[in-house]
Chain A
Amino acid sequence: MSQKQADDIRQSVRDSYAKVAEASDAGECCGVETSCCGVSADINSVHSTRLGYSENDLNHIPGGADMGLGCGNPRAIASLQADEVVLDLGSGGGFDAFLAAREVGEHGQVIGVDMTPAMVSKARRNAETAGFSNVEFRLGEIEYLPVADSSVDVIISNCVINLSPDKARVFREAYRALRPGGRLAISDVVATATLPDEVRDDPHLHACCVAGAALVDELQAMLEQACFTDIRITPKDESREFISDWVPGSGVEDYVVSAHIEAIKPE
């Protein structure tokens, strides 16, 4: 893929999520077409409960941070400890970052990275409103992480890496950013069968976290090439129900499934 094609994909994704951020700011009034990306607070809470977040989780994050854009709960597999440094790839409105911030406590640190300026602004406003002092949001692309080498204990990410036009680079960057012994705890969609060309080439389905999904074997190979060990990719068959709601009637649930992706940077 050329640089231009990769950047065109990034821009299409950015445009989609900027619309979600703006629609969410405006209380849904913009009538954005977001069949795959909820913007109603009620629907999002239901959605998030389905993904494995507790009521308690949902009650402890700033209003507006949960836009129902995830496909799992990376924290459930991250086993975050007090004082850890956490990096959230594609932090959006900050939902997972805020929950992680509560777990790592005031001496821990959470850095959210997102390439959509409107999302970074929104997350920063959310952090300020809620008074989080241990969370920061940085504008950047996940293929070029704006963090120092070996500075992070845990990388979390929720339904984002599938959007990247260069996933191998994302994993190489993740490896660079993690300290030796650091871990990946990612929730993302993976492809269970090769996607038909008309699905793979549809920018809307790409932004909806379908068309960009990689096959489990491809992800395994990319993680290995990035030198990760203890790689575990665990598809979640129960995700079929909510994925079928992303693009109703399209049958995408036959091709993609939500999965936990875990790996370790060796000591």
Chain B
Amino acid sequence: MNQCDKDRPVEDPLEQVRLLYTELAQNPEKEFGWGKGKENASALGYTGEWLSCLPDSVWESAAAVGNPFSLGPIHAGETVIDIGCGAGADACIAAMLVGKTGMVLGIDCTPAMITKARENAEVSGLPQVVFQVAEMTELPLTDSAADLVISNGAINLAEDKDTVLAEAYRVLRPGGRLQIADMVRDTSTGNSVCCRAEESWADCVSGTLEPGTFLFMLTRAGFVDAELVGFTAYRTATSTTGALFRAVKPG
């Protein structure tokens, strides 16, 4: 195949992810086949205050699959890292919660999302949040620096989830918390295997795990009190559902 063919299929999942989320950053009005925007966030329990405080450009490119803030409080002065922060909605909310004495780091492997997130933070007047281009398998944060790791619909996109969870564990201080929303296999529908070949990685379908597998991986990474807190109404395919997980790095 001529490698110059611009229409060649993109095989690398990371490249697929970057292409799709560049599109979500730059052309958010497009129909992607899954929920996004303010209405989606509102349906998942994001408060009206957050929805109105942050600019529309935050919400238009936000594809929340659950509400990580429903999983526990965030305190003033804490250090938070958002893995796969996209256009920055959750990181900006976390920044409002930790206040001026706290710090939030949002990382994303899609430069177009980081560009948008930085603009959003600037417009929102939140200097305590910093956004960096980085991959979730290599978090740009010192060991034991974070009080809390959040993530929303991102870890399923990683091919090497063990490394992502090991990194989350590494950057958390002893006693630090993990509060994430992510897509998982919905085992109740019984068709979790039939359509795999037709499924998309970047759309948060084929990289998903069964919830029990994800809990096992959290435990294997060293976390304790790993817990599936519940499911959300978010779907990316008939075989997937949003789910909420919580875990702690032993103190």
Contact = CB atoms under 8 A, between A and B. Distances in A.
Interface of A: 2-4, 7-8, 10-11, 14, 25-27, 29-30, 115, 117, 121, 138-141, 144-149
B140 A146 contact: yes
Contact of B3 (A4, A7, A26): A26
21 contacts: A4-B119, A7-B118, A10-B111, A10-B115, A25-B3, A27-B3, A29-B2, A29-B3, A30-B4, A115-B111, A117-B14, A121-B14, A121-B15, A138-B134, A138-B135, A138-B138, A139-B109, A139-B133, A139-B134, A146-B138, A147-B140
Given A29-B4, A121-B12, A149-B142, A144 B130 contact: yes
A139 B4 contact: no
Nearest to A144: B132
Given A29-B4, A121-B12, A146-B138, A140 B111 contact: no
Contact of A140 (B14, B140, B143): B140
A139 B111 CA distance: 10
Given A3-B122, A117-B15, A146-B134, 12 more contacts: A3-B118, A7-B114, A7-B119, A10-B111, A10-B115, A11-B111, A25-B3, A26-B4, A30-B4, A140-B140, A141-B133, A144-B133
Given A10-B111, A26-B3, A115-B111, A146 B132 contact: yes
Task: Determine which residue in B18, B109, B140 has the highest number of CB atoms from chain A within 10 A of its CB, and name it.
Answer: B140
Contacts of B4: 26, 29-30
A7 B118 CA distance: 9
Task: Determine which residue in B4, B18, B143 has the highest number of CB atoms from chain A within 10 A of its CB, and name it.
Answer: B4
Contact of B132 (A2, A14, A29, A141): A141
Interface string B120-137: 001000000010111100
B7 to A, nearest CB: 14
Interface residues of B, number: 24
Nearest to B140: A146
A214 B14 CA distance: 35
Given A115-B111, A144-B140, A139 B135 contact: yes
A152 B147 CA distance: 26
Interface string B1-41: 01110000000101100100000000000000000000000
A11 to B, nearest CB: 7
Closest 6 CB pairs of A and B: A146-B140, A26-B3, A7-B115, A144-B132, A30-B4, A3-B118
A14 B112 CA distance: 11
A117 B132 contact: no
Interface string B96-128: 000000000000010110110011001000000
Contacts of A115: 111, 133
A140 B122 contact: no
Nearest to A117: B18
A117 B140 CA distance: 16
A146 B18 CA distance: 19
A117 B109 contact: yes
B118 A139 contact: no
